[in-house]
Amino acid sequence: KKLNQQQYLTIVTVLHDVNLAARYSSRIALLSQGKIFALGTPEFVLEPTYLAEVLGVHVAVIETPVGLQICPLTSIHL
């Protein structure tokens, strides 16, 4: 974020950890089968129904002082 703010650089990162993505990203592209499923802010993209559909896991999304925290609850396929 510091490089982005101070030097006006666009930084693209590929993450498979939704908690890291939530903490460090201002915009997220959630992919499903190689295509963009949702695109926007972490608050918009990391929506429990979106994550359940793409990841196959029910989650709780908790707001913390450092950003969103995604907590897996149960697999949809159990």
In the chain, the number of structural domains is: 1
Q: Is the pTM of this model over 0.75?
A: yes
First-to-final CA distance of the chain: 39
For the record, the structure tokens of 39 come out as 């695109």
State the CB neighbour count (10 A cutoff) for residue 43: 13
Question: pLDDT tens digit string along 27-56?
Answer: 999 999 999 999 999 999 999 999 999 999
Confidence of residue 70 (pLDDT cuts 50, 70, 90): very high
**Which of 4-13, 39-48, 54-63 bottoms out in mean pLDDT, i.e. has the lowest?**
4-13
Residue 50's domain comprises 2-75
Cα dist from 9 to 12, 26, 33, whole Å: 10, 13, 29
Phi-psi region of 40 (alpha: psi -120 to 50; beta: other; left: phi over 0): left
H or E segment and range at residue 33: none
